[in-house]
Chains A and B, each alone.
Chain A
Amino acid sequence: MNLDPSHLEYPHRHDGYDHDLYPWSALKDRPPVRWPRGSVAIWLCVDLEYFPLTPSDTPFRAPGHMQTAYPDYRHYTAREYGTRIGFYRLLDAFAKVGVTASIACNSAIAERYPAIIADIVAAGHEIIAHSTDMNGTIASGLPEDDERALIATSLDTLERVSGTRPQGWLSIARSQSWNTPRLLREAGVRYACDWVNDELPYRFTNGLINLPLNHELSDRQIITVQQQSADSYAQSIRDAFDWLAAEGSREGGGRMLPLNLTPYIMGLPYRIDAFEALLRDLAGRAEAWFASGGQIVDAWDAQQ
């Protein structure tokens, strides 16, 4: 059987992208961005998640979700370990070096454990809306009304419990539908963190800002997927920082080092010391500016 002729038709083969979501630009050609201090904005972003014991595959099952036949107490409780123990190790690690982070939070965490939200707020960290719970995945095929309701529930709940409406959004597994950028904008979201195609904020066609949260530098990618040690992770992050600091200095513009962290991955006893040592090291670097996602977006937006 021959291939359908549509496979040799290229209706979007023209200058720019094959979609209208955002325009093309090369980072090297943009006016340099300057941060309030330093040249490398280090963005700590912790995914704080609640995994129901009853996983949903609609539209897809979230990474880290239940794996065995019901009831999967093994993964349910191992994820809860992250919330109860690992997350507090991370909060303490941030406090030891006096830095501000973003917490990308399922709204179910706020419903179930408001004390955690109080601790986040008291420490001065930013809360980014991160869906409802780990069954709240988004992809094309999710009915638009369901997606709109999911976004509203997440934002409203986090606002009610924390006292502040989140400005930022992170989808589970960074997965969006064709509708997501529009629905986020309609819900008043200022920036989303899902698209990993850049190393500075940039604006979608509809005005939504994308703050890229590098997935390749995440503890999930390096430790869980690529099976590296915490020491290897820390080495990679140091190498990344050194490169970005040198590149920023050479080319005269600010750079970003996004560190996406997972309590049940990095918050384990045998890994947290390596992470704390990394934080101490980075906090001692003159080029480093630790900032929340909202602070980075503010600094960038003021220069556009």
Chain B
Amino acid sequence: MKADPGLYAFSPYRDRPKIVWPGGKQVAVWVAPNLEYYEIDPPAHPKRKAWTKPHPDVVGYSHRDHSNRVAHWRMADVMSAHGFPGSVSLSVALCQHHPAVVADGVARGWEFFSHGIYNTRYAYDMDEAQERAIIEDSIRTVREATGQSIRGWLAPALTHTERTLDLIAEYGLDYTCDLYHDDQPQRVHTKSGDLISMPYSLEVNDHYGFFVYNMSPREYADTLVRQYRRLADEGGTVMCIPLHAYLIGQPHRIGPFADALREIAADGRAWATTAGEIADAWRAQQ
């Protein structure tokens, strides 16, 4: 174990070269719907329980299942209506379980990256061969289901090993959503490849808004607008809106969320884009 993981160089916010986004926009806004599958009875990982109750954890499981029966389309329609594409953090086994949900994202022109096989399988304690297996599975599964080559990684349930970033870079992935040290893309130190950190704005993740900070739907919508306005004022920044349909797509939340997207879109300073496009635009300026 290392006290300092040595992930990146220290680079303070002040006096950085200005990043310019296409069309003179001030803030690149990308929306990251987590399209997930949680297993009802997964094997017990020695370091983390999947569910708090004995299986089946009815509320835990069925709350998340709401995404794949009801809320995905509600959330996606609101995003489409206001011009925001999705960059999907995908439990790749969703391609097998509910291909209609994945196909809907494909039809909307969304980008897909891997969020592991299931959100109930954790990377802690995996050996190198096991980690390679889930990366190769992710690449293969997403290619077969969508035709896309994944460019990014958000670790399953945010579980890592010390070698995860080296491995995804070796496989040619070019962004990680697991590092929360910056509001702009940054280079990540890896053994090979060229990996950057894509700001994922974890603090405005809908899960954080509703279950860490206990916000009402309107408070969360206001939080998104405030986050956006500040980052637009500073310029050259990235804002992610990380979502889960079973949270943001609940009937009391979707209306205020739609209002927030409408306000952000109408402001005129947002580049509504995908994580891959942000990576490309940023790299072109290095």
A residues within 8 Å of B by Cβ?
A: 1-4, 6-8, 10, 12-19, 21, 24-28, 59-60, 139-141, 171, 173-178, 194-199, 212, 214-217, 222, 225-228, 232, 235-237, 239-244, 247, 255, 257
Contacts A175-B59, A197-B61, A226-B216 aside, 15 further interface pairs with beta carbons under 8 A come to: A1-B125, A2-B127, A7-B43, A7-B130, A24-B68, A26-B73, A177-B54, A194-B58, A196-B58, A217-B252, A235-B218, A239-B217, A240-B251, A244-B251, A255-B251
Give A7 to B91 CA distance when docked, in angstroms. Answer: 15
Give A177 to B216 CA distance when docked, in angstroms. Answer: 32
How far is the CB of A215 from the nearest CB of chain B, in Å? 6
Chain B residues in 8 Å Cβ range of A241: 251
**A257–B251 contact, CB under 8 A?**
yes
- Residue A243 contacts which of B40, B53, B118, B251 (CB distance < 8 angstroms)? B251
How far is the CB of B39 from the nearest CB of chain A, in Å? 5
How far is the CB of B64 from the nearest CB of chain A, in Å? 8
Give A139 to B61 CA distance when docked, in angstroms. Answer: 14
How far is the CB of B124 from the nearest CB of chain A, in Å? 8
- Given A2-B130, A8-B133, verify A140-B54 contact (CB < 8 Å): yes
B80 in the interface (beta carbon within 8 A): no
Chain A residues in 8 Å Cβ range of B126: 2-3, 7
**B59–A18 contact, CB under 8 A?**
no
Residues of chain B at interface, number, CB under 8 A: 55
Render B196-231 as a binary contact track against A, CB cut-off 8 A, 1 for contact: 000000000000001100111110000000000000
**B56–A178 contact, CB under 8 A?**
yes
**A176–B56 contact, CB under 8 A?**
yes
Chain A residues in 8 Å Cβ range of B99: 15
13 contacts between A and B (CB under 8 A): A14-B96, A15-B96, A24-B68, A24-B69, A60-B53, A194-B62, A197-B63, A215-B59, A222-B216, A227-B214, A235-B216, A255-B251, A257-B251
B172 in the interface (beta carbon within 8 A): no
Render B39-73 as a binary contact track against A, CB cut-off 8 A, 1 for contact: 11101011000000111111101111110111001
- Given A8-B130, A8-B134, A27-B70, verify A139-B59 contact (CB < 8 Å): no
Give A223 to B101 CA distance when docked, in angstroms. Answer: 33
- Residue B251 contacts which of A17, A195, A217 (CB distance < 8 angstroms)? A217
- Residue B252 contacts which of A10, A215, A240 (CB distance < 8 angstroms)? A240
Chain B positions 226-266 with a Cβ under 8 Å from a chain A Cβ: 250-256
**A199–B251 contact, CB under 8 A?**
yes
Chain A residues in 8 Å Cβ range of B130: 2-3, 7-8
B177 in the interface (beta carbon within 8 A): no
Render B257-283 as a binary contact track against A, CB cut-off 8 A, 1 for contact: 000000000000000000000000000
B93 in the interface (beta carbon within 8 A): yes
Nearest chain-A residue to B96 (Cβ)? A13
B100 in the interface (beta carbon within 8 A): yes
Give A191 to B229 CA distance when docked, in angstroms. Answer: 48
Chain B residues in 8 Å Cβ range of A171: 58
Give A12 to B121 CA distance when docked, in angstroms. Answer: 13
- Residue B58 contacts which of A25, A26, A195, A216 (CB distance < 8 angstroms)? A195
B163 in the interface (beta carbon within 8 A): no
Chain A residues in 8 Å Cβ range of B216: 222, 226, 228, 232, 235-236
Nearest chain-A residue to B67 (Cβ)? A197
- Residue A2 contacts which of B40, B125, B215, B256 (CB distance < 8 angstroms)? B125
B191 in the interface (beta carbon within 8 A): no
Give A10 to B141 CA distance when docked, in angstroms. Answer: 14
**A198–B96 contact, CB under 8 A?**
no
Chain B residues in 8 Å Cβ range of A24: 68-69, 97-98
How far is the CB of B50 from the nearest CB of chain A, in Å? 11
B88 in the interface (beta carbon within 8 A): no
**A196–B45 contact, CB under 8 A?**
no
